[in-house]
Amino acid sequence: MSLLLSSNDALAETLGLRPDSEVLALALTHSSYAAEHHVASNERLEFLGDAVVDLAVADLIVRDYPDLDEGASSVTRSRVVNEASLARAATRLDLARYVRIGKGVVKEQGIERPSLLADTFESVVAALYLERGYEVAKAFVQDALREDIAHASALTDTLDPKTRLRQWAHAHGHEAPVYELFSEGPSHETIFQATVRVGGRVLGSGRAPSKKRAETLAAANAWESRNDA
């Protein structure tokens, strides 16, 4: 048994997809449900949707905020393309009504977990991309996140995350942050995992298709998790 509070009709209408779309149904199938029912989950769609969201947000930033340099643009994107922001977008779309989850997640009342909601948002974006193409998926993402992007871009602290973290480390008597990079996957789909240490402690990590992006995300995460000591 899964938690399925609504048919897909209303969501499909919002997205411009057929109610019986198999791709949409897959996008709304959490791994917990898939494991119990021996069907495919939305995990591969999450992977694709993550890339579409990242590109769509970057596109809007470049087009609508020409005064932001590369560092400020990267900070703005990192403030928007993250679990908390995407979970809020999923909540605004009421995706929790539609996603199929397993008994364990139902029991734990895990349907509102930010990670689950963010992953579902990415999967739905991927379904749009596959069914209707990139331009439609891009427009959907930009409409869903436009206000978040405007807010993030207006924040005064727009230093590049690595610069900001380095300055903070220096101000607190630490050596410069140390980054470690690992890669996985085939050469044409390599994913980089970066961790950053300050004062010997791992403060953040980032995962992205490029070394620079992975380190930037690691620095941004370190900044968010830092303390004042």
Per residue in 145-193, pLDDT (tens digit) is 999 999 888 774 556 788 888 888 887 889 999 999 999 888 777 899 9
Q: Which domain holds residue 69?
A: 9-154
- Same domain? For 184 and 216 the reply is yes
Domain count, the chain: 2
User: What are the pLDDT digits (tens) for 3-30?
Assistant: 344 578 899 999 999 989 999 999 999 9
Pairing of strands 178-184, 191-198: antiparallel
Phi, psi of 163, rounded to the nearest 5 degrees? -65, -45
Q: Which pLDDT belongs to residue 162? A: 86
Question: What 3-state DSSP class applies to 19?
Answer: coil
pLDDT at 219 exceeding the cut of 50? yes
User: What are the pLDDT digits (tens) for 81-108?
Assistant: 988 899 999 999 999 999 998 887 776 7
Is 108 noted as a catalytic residue in this protein?
no
Task: Please indicate, yes or no, if residue 3 is contained in any of the structural domains.
Answer: no
Domain of 199, CATH number, reads: 3.30.160.20
- Same domain? For 68 and 177 the reply is no
pLDDT tier at 1 (50, 70, 90 boundaries)? very low
- Same domain? For 211 and 110 the reply is no
198 bridge partner residues? 201
- Same domain? For 145 and 186 the reply is no
User: What are the pLDDT digits (tens) for 184-197?
Assistant: 888 777 899 999 99
- Same domain? For 128 and 172 the reply is no
**How far from the centroid of its chain's Cα atoms is residue 124's Cα?**
12
Annotated catalytic residue within 50, 119, 148, 160: 50
- Same domain? For 26 and 134 the reply is yes
Average model confidence (pLDDT) across the chain: 87
pLDDT tier at 74 (50, 70, 90 boundaries)? confident
Residue 136's CB is within 10 A of a number of other CB atoms, namely 15
Point out the domain boundary residue: 108, 127, 154.
Answer: 154
Point out the domain boundary residue: 154, 177, 202.
Answer: 154
The rounded distance, in Å, linking the Cα atoms of 190 and 48 is: 14
User: What are the pLDDT digits (tens) for 106-131?
Assistant: 767 667 788 899 999 999 999 999 99
Is 122 noted as a catalytic residue in this protein?
yes
Annotated catalytic residue within 46, 54, 119, 122: 122
Hey, what are 149's tokens?
């992007």
The rounded distance, in Å, linking the Cα atoms of 87 and 98 is: 14
